[in-house]
Amino acid sequence: MSFGKKGSHSKRRFAALHPFRADLHCHSSFSDGTDTPEALIDLALEKGLSGLSITDHDTLGAYPQALDYAQKRGLLLLPGIEFSAYFQESPVHILAYAFRLKSEALLTLCGRHRKRRFERNLEIVQRLKGLGIHLGEIKGEGRPHIALALIEKGVVGSIQEAFDRFLGDGKPAFCPGKTISVEETLEVIHRAGGRAVIAHPHLIRKQSLLRRLSELPFDGIEGYYAKFSPERERKYLELGRKKEWLITGGSDYHGTNKPFSSLGSSWVDEKTFYTLYDHFNEFRSQ
Ligand code: AMP
Ligand code: ZN
Ligand code: FE
Ligand code: FE
């Protein structure tokens, strides 16, 4: 794996004003966050961040408008996305960064996820019907949107309760749809020139699974995540260093859909950010 050279053609004008921080994991209203991309960029600046990556689930919908707005506001925006993949029947989220935004392979993968979500959501709604719960309109493609519809119907009191009782992996209304493998996802990310990172590794409960996963051609691991205990963080940093991976971090901010995680609560420093950002700038217009 080779990362781009640090520095040369990137703007660094914020470095002198604030300690450089970039949050590399958050969701906009193009997936299951509640803030528009513009609102996320405004909020990032309010929080004193110098860089951001909007990593919506399986969609690049926030780009390129977000890039234009970030440039206007003077925030460094790194293209990112979070793919929902499966590895040996377990869900694994993969963050991808610094890819070609116009990559056919990547856009095709997003299209397949869109279809998967559509079919999966029909099945989830059917299963809820089977449990005697008849939902009206669902305003979005993510499970949190179904959770909001359950709240509106008065079936549950919170998004968390909806996941615990119905929508979480293995719960009675859950259905993953036509799953897409980690291996295939990595291949597409690399074909698009991007870097692939294991997201929130603490959600991979089985250690044997993480070990097998770490044999795959990942480029990084999300080692900084607000919820990590110091031991967890140490463990993931150790794994990342051993593999010579990039160690990334982010808040996984979702706006009011996940109120306990605030934008900028986890972040990477300037060196890590520019390793990715300079790589993206090498083929920015492609
Ligand atoms: P989806 O991409 O539609 O399958 O939904 C996944 C999203 O739902 C995650 O990114 C979280 O925001 C949320 N989510 C998944 N599992 C849970 C859970 N057990 N409790 C609360 N939220 C969850
Ligand atoms: Zn989410
Ligand atoms: Fe995730
Ligand atoms: Fe996320």
Q: Answer yes or no: is the C-beta of 93 below 6 A from any ligand 1 atom.
A: no
Expressed in angstroms and rounded, the spacing between residue 248 Cα and the centre of ligand 1 is: 21
- The arithmetic mean of pLDDT across residues 118-134, rounded, is 97
Q: Answer yes or no: is the C-beta of 168 below 6 A from any ligand 1 atom.
A: yes
Contact by Cβ (8 Å): 160, 145: no
- The arithmetic mean of pLDDT across residues 79-92, rounded, is 97
Antiparallel, parallel or unpaired: β 51-52 and 76-77: parallel
- Where does the pLDDT of residue 10 fall: very low under 50, low under 70, confident under 90, or very high at 90 and above? very low
Ligand in nearest proximity to the CA of 144: 1
pLDDT in the model for residue 64: 86
Ligand in nearest proximity to the CA of 142: 1
Strand-by-strand arrangement of the 76-77 sheet: 22-23, 51-52, 76-77
The overall average pLDDT reported for the chain is 93
Ligand in nearest proximity to the CA of 92: 3
**Least reliable range by pLDDT among 6-15, 206-215, 235-244:** 6-15
Q: Answer yes or no: is the C-beta of 79 below 6 A from any ligand 1 atom.
A: no
- The arithmetic mean of pLDDT across residues 191-201, rounded, is 98
Nearest to 218 by CA among 34, 36, 87: 87
- Where does the pLDDT of residue 17 fall: very low under 50, low under 70, confident under 90, or very high at 90 and above? low
Contact by Cβ (8 Å): 92, 85: yes
How confident is the model over 22-73, as pLDDT tens digits?
A: 999 999 999 999 999 999 999 999 999 999 999 999 999 999 899 999 999 9
Whole-model pTM? 0.93
Two tokens, residue 250: 């982010």
pLDDT in the model for residue 137: 87
- Residues at Cβ < 5 Å from ligand 3 ion: 93
pLDDT in the model for residue 16: 52
- The arithmetic mean of pLDDT across residues 131-135, rounded, is 97
- The arithmetic mean of pLDDT across residues 139-166, rounded, is 97
Q: Answer yes or no: is the C-beta of 56 below 6 A from any ligand 1 atom.
A: no
Contact by Cβ (8 Å): 264, 229: no
104-130 and 182-191 helices cross at what angle (nearest 10)?
A: 150
Q: Answer yes or no: is the C-beta of 113 below 6 A from any ligand 1 atom.
A: no
CA 69-74-80 angle, to 5 degrees, is 60
User: Is the per-residue pLDDT at 2 higher than 60?
Assistant: no
User: Is the per-residue pLDDT at 90 higher than 70?
Assistant: yes
- The arithmetic mean of pLDDT across residues 214-227, rounded, is 96
Pocket probe for ligand 1: among 82, 143, 200, 205, the residue whose CB has the most ligand atoms within 8 Å is 143
Task: Please report, rounded to a whole number, the percentage of residues in the chain having pLDDT higher than 90.
Answer: 89
- The arithmetic mean of pLDDT across residues 232-249, rounded, is 97
